[in-house]
Structure 1
Amino acid sequence: MSTFRVVRRMFCVAAETAAAPVAGSRWERLKKSKAGVWCRGLVTDYKEACREIFVGAWERPIKASVYGTLLGGALACFYTKPDQSSFEAALLDRSNELGLLSPWIRNATSDGHVQSLVKLRNEGRLRHISFGLLSLVYRADYDLAASLYEAQCSNLSVPWRELHQRVLDVGFVGFWWVLDSKMKDYDVNDDEFKHLPVYMQHTAAPSVQEVERSERLHKESWLPPAVEEEEAGTKVVDRKEEVMSEESQIKEEQTPA
């Protein structure tokens, strides 16, 4: 009986609450709710923070410029950070460039570095890791698809303290710096000149006068040899005159007095 009374009282209270008029519109009720109060407080905090940023930038322009430059540089580094696919594309391009050269004129440092990277790539041992502003490519001991216990056990993976010894390249602002530095003068074989004297192993850049002289001689080499023909014609005429003078002298000697 007491349970029936409690249930009836609950239904009566619910009916009275539903029938009672609610003061204010729906928007007013939403603003006075907990979610509305929280949203208003959040908007107020962000508004005050933005106002303080602009006021601080107006009062300290140099400091604001430095912070803006650092922030812009960080965003540029983040968006121009190369990924693993770009490293593989750069590696294949460098390998093709070396493949177009004869083995006798390839730089040993460039060729050895690229060949080692290609071998690691074919073995599936190249790994890529991103640090936000830059990327690193390092070598691993096993392929990801290897089913060996040493390759799958997380306790036997490469520790972080050995990562600096395994780093192969650094990607920053869209470039792979180690690969580009190794490919410098990739078409110059230093071992080809090691048997020469010391003063002939290193050559200085030509001066402006030497470059102009070489260009002038190159342009003159394409001109027709008109000067040589004139000299040859002059020599033929002189020879004919000498022959005619000799013949006249011989006739004079043979003519009786």
Structure 2
Amino acid sequence: MSVTSRLPMVITEVSSKVQFPAKLRGTIIEKWANYWKNLFMDYRQMIQDLRTDIQDEPHKALKYTTGLVTAYLLAQANPSELDFKDSLKRFANEAALVSEECQNPKAYGHLRYLETCYNQSVIHYKSLGIASIMYTTEVNDTCDLYKAHCKYLKPTYLSFPSRIVDIGFMGRWWNMYIKTTNYDVNI
């Protein structure tokens, strides 16, 4: 008999042997002990069921495990706002070293737009777990104009995709990477 199959019997034997003193019966201490005992038994039963499910359907278990590991690795490689700022500064510094005749106007314009958004504090970061987005708003958070408070002037949810500046996935900000790949080639 294996250790895992003997464990439930040992726990039930120990729990039946352990008796609370008469003065502690019906108190919060006994309820607390029963809660933890029941919680442990529930998780033990869940693990046993999981083991039998894995043995019955190993291909399904492999698919779920692969999916969970992939999601975990993508979440670990999810870029942050600091990564975005770092990439922006790095590309802007590299583009500044190229003469104006050789600069790609689209790449340079995109970098200038992002810098302007940062200067106006209208660019924001949102992490979605396995991916991140950078998006712009019309006014910054500290703006106290009527436009910032009027519900009729606020952007709709349908306009949100047009305000997305960049998408971060697998450790890279893709829009910035694509637009600045040939920053030194004037097209």
Partner of 1:103: 100
- TM-score, normalisation: structure 1: 0.59
| Counterpart for residue 76 of structure 1 | 73
Equivalent residue number for residue 182 of structure 1: 179
Distance across 1 between alignment mates of 2:82 and 2:20: 63
Instruction: Call closer, same or farther: CA 1:145–1:24 in 2, change over 3 Å.
Output: closer
Question: What stretches of structure 1 of length at least 5 have no aligned partner?
Answer: 1-21, 191-257
Instruction: Supply the distance in 2 between the matched residues of 1:150 and 1:101 (Cα, whole angstroms).
Output: 40
Is the Cα–Cα contact under 8 Å of residues 105 and 188 in structure 1 kept in the other structure? yes
Per the alignment, do residues 155 and 127 of structure 1 end up closer, same or farther by CA in structure 2, a change over 3 Å counting?
Answer: farther
Task: List per-residue Cα deviations over 1:28-84 (Å, max 9, x = no partner).
Answer: 888992222222221111111111112222232221111111101111122221122
Task: Determine the structure 1 residue equivalent to 2:57.
Answer: 60
Residue pairs, 1:195-210, within 5 angstroms: none
The answer to whether the Cα contact below 8 Å between 2:136 and 2:164 also exists between their aligned partners in 1 is: yes
Identity of aligned residues (%): 26
| Length, aligned pairs only | 169
Q: Which has the larger radius of gyration?
A: 1
**Higher relative contact order, chain-length normalized (CA < 8 Å, sep 6+):** 2
For the structure 1 residues 29 and 99, does the alpha-carbon distance in structure 2 shift closer, same or farther, using more than 3 Å as the test?
A: same
Secondary structure, aligned partner of 2:126: strand
SS at match of 1:142: coil
Confirm whether residue 44 of structure 1 aligns to residue 41 of structure 2.
yes
5+ residue gaps, structure 2: 1-18
- Verify: 1:165 aligned to 2:134, yes or no: no
Q: Are residues 45 and 109 of structure 1, via their aligned partners in 2, closer, same or farther at CA, if it must alter by over 3 Å?
A: same
Partner of 1:223: none
Equivalent residue number for residue 121 of structure 2 = 124
Q: Distance in 2 between matches of 1:87 and 1:58?
A: 45
For 1:101 and 1:31, how far apart are their aligned partners in 2? 73
Alpha-carbon RMSD across the aligned residues, in angstroms, is: 2.6
Is the Cα–Cα contact under 8 Å of residues 110 and 186 in structure 1 kept in the other structure?
yes
Report the Cα offset of residue 153 of structure 1: 4.9
Separation in structure 2 between the aligned mates of residue 171 and residue 26 of structure 1, nearest angstrom: 61
Residues 231-250 of structure 1 correspond to what in structure 2 (within 5 A)? Answer: none
Structure 2: how far apart are the matches of 1:115 and 1:174? 23
